[in-house]
Structure 1
Amino acid sequence: MEETKVVDNSSATSKKETSAKKTGKKGNDTFFSKVGDFFTGVKAEFGKIIWPTRDDIVKQTTAVVVVSIICCALIAVLDIAFEYGMNFITSLF
């Protein structure tokens, strides 16, 4: 037996437009009501944030530092090798 799931694809904007059509207020939103709606949305989005734990931050920071040191060492070795190679080539001519 197959289940069907109903998904609501309408956004908050379309809901406002629908309610505006019902009330007859088309485009009469004031600047301050739009700003208030914006900050209400920001507050709702902040509630969805999942902050990492201290252990996660320590692990990720350690990984970034280790990879950075490895890349730095690789670039230094390549720089020394190319410098030696260029000095050798220029000493021949």
Structure 2
Amino acid sequence: MDEKKSSSFQGFFKGLKTEFNKIIFPNRQDIVKETTATIVVSLLIGVVIAVLDLIMKTGLGFILK
């Protein structure tokens, strides 16, 4: 039973090493592009939410007066 347990650990770590070798890390240019896109989209969504909030606040203020 100890041999089976030992070989299963070896198989696990061999598979783990194989999977780690498949990892492809992005280069600096890709990171900059994706970060820029994330910031721009976040700002756009923030502006849309702010405009919708202003419209709803103004509309409710007009209705409740």
What TM-score do you get using the length of structure 2 for normalisation? 0.85
Q: How many residues are paired up?
A: 64
1:40 paired with 2:14, answer yes
Which stretch has the larger CA shift, 48-57 or 30-39?
Answer: 30-39
Gaps of 5+ in 1: 1-27
Over the aligned positions, Cα root-mean-square deviation in angstroms equals: 1.6
Gaps of 5+ in 2: none
Runs of 4+ off more than 3 Å: none
Q: Per chain length, whose mean CA-contact separation is higher, i.e. which structure has more relative contact order (CA < 8 Å, sep 6+)?
A: 1
Counterpart of 1:80 (choices 54, 61, 65) is 54
Which stretch has the larger CA shift, 32-41 or 76-85?
Answer: 32-41
Identity of paired residues, percent?
47
Aligned twin of 1:9: none
Higher alpha-carbon Rg: 1
